[in-house]
Amino acid sequence: MRFLPTSRRLLSSYVIIYVAILYFPVLLLPVFSFNDSATPKLPLVGFTFKWYESLASNTAMHGAAWNSLIVGVSAAFLSTALGICAARAITRHRFRGKAAAGSLIMAPLILPEIIIAISLLVVLLGLGMQLSLITVILGHLLICVPYSVTVLISGFEGFDPSMEEASRDLGETAFGTLRRVTLPMLMPSIVSSLLVTFTISLDEFILAFFLSGAEPTLPVYIWGQLRFAAKLPNVLALGSILIAASLVLLTAAEMFRRRAERKMAVRP
């Protein structure tokens, strides 16, 4: 048996400990959601689906879920449309301030979300806007666009620009080239961007908490339910559904991203 070097063993141990600390509490959430007890504890009292069944008649939760769906879909499509423009400009053109523009686009990933939320709240109220789902969408655009640009830049960098040049040489217009050549070739990256940004918007809490007003999204609704101990089992069940949905969406996004890499690979 060949032993790993000390450095590799230490790195492997670090990765295992890191993953355990990060994901073990999350894995406990679905386990406790099936517990036949109002308090999460081990050993489990019994196995039940009643907490999931009770969600079916929760109209307040349904309204929050619908709000999250509206915000998520809107933020995903708008951020992807803006991401296509930004990614194309960054990868296809040279202009003064290009590096600064890229840094500004990525800035929301570095700045604390609570600072962004408070700043947006002050600005939007100063402009006379009422807090609603529209203000939540505007806030989510700030944090979704950087993810969209990151995904789409990868797609543009793997897409041979000579195909666009050939289309224009054959007499196609710029819009026709975009519609018939560029977008079809980038479609896996576009779908990946839509899935990633929708997932980010669906799970985002801080911006929605400050900007939603009387129309809470699902994370804001969950936060409100945590004030009541009797609602905790329902929150665990709802949280488990959100975790499963997020994993499915992110897995699908990764599959589309890898498909885009294979499709954009330059063949000799």
- With respect to residue 37, please indicate whether it lies within any of the assigned structural domains: no
Identify the top-confidence range among 14-23, 94-103, 147-156.
Answer: 147-156
Give me the domain span that covers residue 207. Answer: 60-264
What pLDDT sits at residue 80?
92
Residue 206 lies in a domain: yes
In a domain, residue 204? The reply is yes
Give residue 105's pLDDT: 83
Residue 250: strand, helix, or coil: helix
Please check whether residue 231 lies inside any domain of the structure: yes
CATH code for position 153: 1.10.3720.10
Residue 106 placed within a domain: yes
Q: Which residues are CB-contacts of 260 (< 8 A; sequence separation ≥ 6)?
A: 154, 155, 158, 186, 188, 189, 192
Which DSSP state fits 44? -
- Of 36 and 113, the structure prediction assigns the larger pLDDT to 113
Query: Is the pLDDT assigned to residue 267 strictly greater than 70?
Result: no
For residue 45, CA distances in Å to 26, 102, 235, 236 come to 20, 53, 18, 16
Backbone angles phi, psi at 156, to 5 degrees: -65, -40
pLDDT band of residue 100 (cuts 50, 70, 90) is confident
**Would you say residue 150 has pLDDT above 80?**
yes
pLDDT band at 265 (very low <50, low <70, confident <90, very high): low
How buried is residue 170: exposed, middle or buried, by Cβ count under 10 Å (0-12/13-18/19+)?
exposed
Helix (H) or strand (E) holding 122: helix 113-126
Is residue 266's pLDDT more than 50? no
Q: Is residue 67 part of a domain?
A: yes
pLDDT digits (tens, 9 = 90+) for 153-203: 887 777 766 676 677 766 667 677 777 777 777 777 888 888 889 888 888
Task: Indicate the number of domains in the chain.
Answer: 1
Confirm whether 198 is domain-assigned.
yes
The residue with greater pLDDT, 214 or 168, is 214
Q: Give the span between the Cα atoms of 211 and 213, in whole angstroms.
A: 6
Q: What is the identity of the amino acid at 135?
A: T
pLDDT of residue 74: 93
Asked if the model's pLDDT at residue 71 lies above 80, the reply is yes
What percent of the chain stands above pLDDT 70?
84
* 180 vs 132, higher pLDDT: 132
Largest CA distance in the chain: 72
Q: Over the chain, what is the mean pLDDT? A: 79
Please report whether residue 15 resides in a domain: no
pLDDT at 139 > cutoff 80: yes
